[in-house]
Structure formats: C-alpha cells, structure tokens
Amino acid sequence: MTILITNARLIDPEAQTDVPGWLLVRDGRIADRGNGAAPAVEARVIDAGGKCLAPGIVDIGVKTCEPGERHKESIRTAGAAAAAGGVTTMVTRPDTTPPIDTPEALEFVRRRGEQVSPVRMLPMAALTKGREGREMTEIGFLLDAGAAAFTDCDHVVTDTKVLTRAMTYARSLGALLIMHPQDPGLSGGAAVTSGKFASLKGLPAVSPMAERIGLERDLALVEMTRARYHADQITTAAALPALTRAKTDGLDVTAGVSIHHLTLNEFDVGDYRTFFKVKPPLRAEDDRLAMVEAVADGTIDIISSMHTPQDEESKRLPFEVAASGAVALETLLPAGMRLFHAGQLSLPQLFRAMALNPARRLGLDTGTLDVDAPADLVLFDPNAPFVLDRFTLRSKSKNTPFDGMRMEGKVLMTLVAGEPVFERTA
C-alpha cells in the first residue's frame, strides 16, 4: 500500500523538531518526506488536518498474561489495545505462568504474536530459571529463539554470584539485561512510599533508599562485568546520582520510568484506591518532578507503560493485599500529553523517550521518521479532550488509575509496516 499523509505536524525525535510537512509511505517503509508541497503520486491520501505524525511507540515491559492468565489479558487483546494507543512494538515481559524461560516457551509466545497481534511483538525471556534467582537460563539458545532481552521483572536476583555469572555470560553474547533496581529486604511487603502520608494511612511502606541501594549494587556488578544494562524503572531522586555517574564513567547503562511515576504521586492513593497501587509505589511530588526533569535532560532514556493487567478480584481487596499494577497501553500517549500541555516536555522529547531511545536500545530500525525506516507511525491529536471510561478500554482488565479523569490526546491512526492497524472512526 502507498499512503501519502499531508498537512501534518512531523514530530521528529531524532532531529528534535516539530514542523509542518508531508510523508510518503511505500512498501512498508518511509519513502520520502518534506516540508513544502506534497508530490503528486498514486496513493491513498490522508489529510492530517494539522494533527501530529510521529514514530510509533516502542513500549518495553508489557505484560500480556499469556500463557497462564488469559482471563486478565491475552496477546490478541493487548495487541488491540496497543494499536489503539499508538504503540507499534510491544516488548513483552516473561512473568507469565509459567515464566518464559525456555526456547520452546519463547517460540510459543513469539508465534502467537505473529498470528494474532496487529502490532509488532518482541518477547523478552527470563534471566533465571523460573525467575527464582538460582540458576541462569540458556541465554544463548533463547537469543537464537528471538529473545529481545533478559529480565526476571520484579523478582530481584539476590545471589550476587548467580547474577555476576549471568551478566558475564550475557556480555559475551551481547545480550541486554533489564533489571528491577530494588533492595528486596527493604521493599518486601511494602504498599506505599515511606513518609508522613504512609504513616497517616497506616500502610506498610518502603524508603526510596531501597531503589538507590538496588541500583548501586547493580551498577557495581555492571562495572565489574561490563554487561549491557537497563534499569526498568527509576522513580526516586535518590537514585539519579548513581545513574549519572555510571553514564559518565562510560558504562553501557540506560534507564526507564513508567508513565504513572511521571504523572501521578503518592497522594493519588487517596482513600486506599487500589487502582493506584503500582510497583514501585507512587512517590512524592518532588520525586515525580525530578523524574520529569531527568527525562528532559536525557538522564532517564525511556518512558514505558509498564502495562500490568489485574482482574477485579485482584484489585477489589484491602490496599495492603491488593495486586500491584495498572493497564496503560491505551493511556500512555494521553498521559504523556499531560507533560506536554504542562510545558514540561516537548513532543520531540516525549517521542525520543517513547520511540527512538527504546528502539535504539533494542537495536531496532524503528522509532524514527528517517527515509527508508519502517513505516511504524502514529497520527494523533494532542489537544482532543475526553473523559476516560475504563470500560471502553480494549484490554480485558480495566485497572487504570485514570478512570473518570479528564485527559487530552487521541490516537487517530496507527500504522505498522505501512498498513493501518487502527483508525478512529469517532
């Protein structure tokens, strides 16, 4: 299919520009782009009406719940939610039931993604067998089977000898490790961040220092092994100096943050509202602002949804025992627009963190508007207002903290390899 998109605002995260122009898609790739009059070609012409055209979002850390928990989410429904949210590549987590820790399990989810997901799906594999932290997986075989990266998700490997061996082996193969920087001794059983608010609510809490301690340990091992390392979520200001130091020292280190930790804070928990229970817990407002600033200056590289579906039975419980996590594939972009409209991040900065940087970290050629790049694109209206109704979400689970909130930013069209996989009709 040949598509010509005219009268658009081209959001280029690589050049950090936001300019009017046109873009031509042919044979699944970006064939040409410009800022003057659009060429006369035989194509489906889409008049963007001055709306924004950007690279499709590459979302690292999506939980699809398949196999094992399809009542919460499936690859099909997660793919549909991703397409509606402008996410063109889902990088999926291995914390399924059972975990994705063998080439056979990885091949299963990879094939399922090819069969039923309208967007690209890159599965990650577990770093240790069963995500138990005792014995590393067959990293080489899993790489051959298509593993995008290796992670035990929120199960922190506490045995440093096991982790060191895994890092050393992964380094020899060029594999990327994605770790969850927390000290489990401090963070175990915690529901909120320590402070006056937690004390008033009487909830078990964790100090922000647990994240700093976990990150400092990981970075020391990275310095020793020279492994490729990505911290899945940095959420506290206390952890930023260690991250900055590691980058200054030339270590192969990047870091991410979830959209929830950029747009919400600890007070949103309110009267024990479990849809706001995420892992790590929501932080103080000063920490939130520090994370936004870290994204703006490039200290934090990647923004992700950390899409974690939970059913009603898991959430309709006392806050302390309710499951952690929130769905976010469809709310990632409109939540990001909060930062744009607040003047905290520009659209090119947002898409640098949501598309370009994650694509580069994974060695993908997406995330850009360059000619000859794959035509994975999102056309969206950054100003379109709406009130979010969680029951309209395409995910099976509806556990979003943004339910009932006034938001801005709607996806109008999502293209994967030049083919429309979502078009808004109303």
Q: What is the pLDDT of residues 218-249, one digit of tens each?
A: 999 999 999 999 999 999 999 999 999 999 99
369-400 in b/e form (b: 16+ CB < 10 A) is beeebbbbbbbbbbebeeebebeebbbbbbbb
Say if residue 25's pLDDT is above 80: yes
Query: In angstroms, rounded to a whole number, what is the distance separating the alpha carbons of residues 127 and 163?
Result: 9
pLDDT of the residue at 4: 97
pLDDT of the residue at 425: 86
166-194 in b/e form (b: 16+ CB < 10 A) is bbebbbeeebbbbbbbbbbebbeebbbbb
Say if residue 194's pLDDT is above 80: yes
Q: What is the pTM of this model?
A: 0.97
The least confident of 81-95, 192-206, 338-352 is: 192-206
* Cβ neighbour number for residue 321 with a 10 Å cutoff: 11
Give the tens place of pLDDT for each residue, 108-137.
Answer: 999 999 999 999 999 999 999 999 999 999
> Residue 412: pLDDT band by 50, 70, 90 thresholds?
very high
Say if residue 12's pLDDT is above 90: yes
Average pLDDT over residues 337-363: 98
Give the tens place of pLDDT for each residue, 45-103.
Answer: 999 999 999 999 999 999 999 999 999 999 999 999 999 999 999 999 999 999 999 99
Q: What is the average pLDDT score of the chain? A: 97
SS3 sequence of 300-349: CCEEECCECCCCHHHHCCCCCCCCCCECCCCCHHHHHHHHHHCCCCCHHH
Side-chain-side CA neighbours of residue 357 (13 Å): 24
Check if the beta carbon of residue 347 is closer than 8 Å to that of residue 54. Answer: yes
Say if residue 378's pLDDT is above 80: yes
Say if residue 338's pLDDT is above 90: yes
Say if residue 316's pLDDT is above 90: yes
Query: In angstroms, rounded to a whole number, what is the distance separating the alpha carbons of residues 273 and 109?
Result: 33
Of 1 and 390, the one with more pLDDT: 390
pLDDT of the residue at 403: 97
Q: How many residues does this entry show for the chain? A: 426
> What type of residue sits at position 120?
R
Give the tens place of pLDDT for each residue, 128-168.
Answer: 999 999 999 999 999 999 999 999 999 999 999 999 999 99
pLDDT of the residue at 63: 98
Tell me the three state secondary structure of residue 253: strand
Average pLDDT over residues 26-45: 95
Say if residue 426's pLDDT is above 80: no
Query: In angstroms, rounded to a whole number, what is the distance separating the alpha carbons of residues 204 and 324?
Result: 14
> Residue 1: pLDDT band by 50, 70, 90 thresholds?
confident
* Cβ neighbour number for residue 197 with a 10 Å cutoff: 17
> Residue 286: pLDDT band by 50, 70, 90 thresholds?
very high
Query: In angstroms, rounded to a whole number, what is the distance separating the alpha carbons of residues 44 and 375?
Result: 15
> Residue 177: pLDDT band by 50, 70, 90 thresholds?
very high
> Residue 6: pLDDT band by 50, 70, 90 thresholds?
very high
